[in-house]
Amino acid sequence: VPDGRLQMGYVGCGFMAQNVHLPNFSSIAGCRLLGLAERRPRLGRLVADRFGIERLYPTHEDLASDPDIQAVAVSAGFAEQGEIAADLLRAGKHVFMEKPMALSIAQGERILAAEEAGDARLMVGYMKRYDPGNRLARETIRSWRADGSRGRPTYARNHGFCGNWTSGLDTSTMLGTDEPQEASPWAPELPDWITDKTAGEQYVWALQQFTHNVNLLRFMLDAGDDVQVRAVDLDPDGQRGVVVFEMAGTRAVLEAGALDYHDWDEHTQVYFEGGWVHAFSPPLLVPSTQARVETYAGGDQYSTATLVAPQRDGWAFREEARHFVRSVLDGAEFDSSARDTMTDVRLFEEIFRHHLGVA
């Protein structure tokens, strides 16, 4: 490493890049943004200049052949960003990519094979796992499980009704050009048992939203791949309803919704025989906010508490970027690895098989 910093590239100059990831990676002392790839060349130039990025490439393949770049972050179309990640892994670059990794088990396995064939590693952007409040909730759940003081976990729920995820974000300074954006076809990446166009659109909508919630529930319960789908009761369009899982021996429920709401309506609660831990997620794009965590411990000496994480500026997306840089430099495992998210990919195929009655 030339100056001790991770030499990074970035692919894509769209909404997430400009509003979230480029500002975050730019603010991290442990890395330097050295290269940028964007298919729309004039947009690429504007964004490279704004963030002081020296090298500009027309595609991710050109960026992948830059020998000075060690790691790359990607935010592009939801079906193609995994393919971009696989190309970068094959070129030996460590990759951070936006979620979802893949639309189907088949696509996911292809991407994982690219990772496993070399030495580079892939992290997937489940930023809620890096929210300091959510991490505090998980530590509390872990310690209650370890010491048995509240009995066993009996029930977990993630209430994911969505809402206003951008919270009035000021996008007036976003850079744009009149260059047309290339279409990014996603239908070929659907599971092969989804043949109906409308079902495909509904699957993608539900996957895009609720993969976060399923991923977070698994994290809170340390369930890994020990998850089965028990029951699915969704509206025909797949946007609202409940999914019941068994996660590491605990019943866990996704309460899926789509609410026209001025705020962000999401919380996760894990019940024990003698208490609960409850984390309320903040709206996604408000920096320096984190999940609020409350606990209740029962018994004669019952108590309630509000837990506060030590970081004052802990924003899920910034902590996620820090985790990527730190883990690549230290060789530590990612808390949202490609291998781990294969469980989310499998579960969404299973949920929609139940939902559509496909054997």
Q: Which residues bind ligand NAD (CB under 6 A)?
A: 11-17, 37-40, 59-60, 75-78, 80-81, 84, 98-99, 125, 127, 181, 208, 284
- The residue (of 140 and 336) whose beta carbon lies closer to ligand NAD is 336
Torsion, Cα of 307, 291, 74, 76 (10° steps): 170
Contact (Cβ atoms closer than 8 angstroms) between residue 65 and residue 92? no
The phi and psi torsions of 232 (rounded to 5 degrees) equal -135, 125
How far the first Cα of the chain sits from its last, in Å, is 51
- The residue (of 42 and 142) whose beta carbon lies closer to ligand NAD is 42
- The residue (of 35 and 275) whose beta carbon lies closer to ligand NAD is 35
**Least gap, CB of 49 to ligand NAD (angstroms):** 16
**Least gap, CB of 310 to ligand NAD (angstroms):** 24
- The residue (of 4 and 180) whose beta carbon lies closer to ligand NAD is 180
Q: Is the dihedral of CA 356, 239, 265, 190 positive or negative?
A: positive
Strand boundaries in the chain, DSSP class E? 6-11, 31-37, 55-57, 71-74, 94-98, 122-125, 153-163, 227-234, 241-247, 250-256, 264-272, 275-280, 292-297, 303-307
**Least gap, CB of 154 to ligand NAD (angstroms):** 30
Q: Is the peptide bond before 100 cis (omega within 30 degrees of 0)?
A: yes
Residue 184, C-beta contacts closer than 8 angstroms, at least 6 positions apart: 76, 77, 79, 80
**Least gap, CB of 77 to ligand NAD (angstroms):** 6
- The residue (of 75 and 327) whose beta carbon lies closer to ligand NAD is 75
**Least gap, CB of 44 to ligand NAD (angstroms):** 8
111: number of Cβ within 10 Å: 26
Residue 307, C-beta contacts closer than 8 angstroms, at least 6 positions apart: 133, 136, 137, 140, 293, 294, 295
- The residue (of 20 and 351) whose beta carbon lies closer to ligand NAD is 20
**How long a stretch of residues is the chain?**
359
Query: Among candidates 162, 152, 135, which has minimal Cα distance to 251?
Result: 152
Q: Nearest to ligand NAD by Cβ — which residue?
A: 14
Contact (Cβ atoms closer than 8 angstroms) between residue 311 and residue 298? no
- The residue (of 16 and 220) whose beta carbon lies closer to ligand NAD is 16
Phi-psi group of 8: left, alpha or beta (phi > 0 → left; psi -120 to 50 → alpha; rest → beta): beta
Contact (Cβ atoms closer than 8 angstroms) between residue 232 and residue 135? no
**Least gap, CB of 172 to ligand NAD (angstroms):** 16
| Percent of residues in the chain assigned helix, strand, coil, to nearest 5 | 35, 25, 40
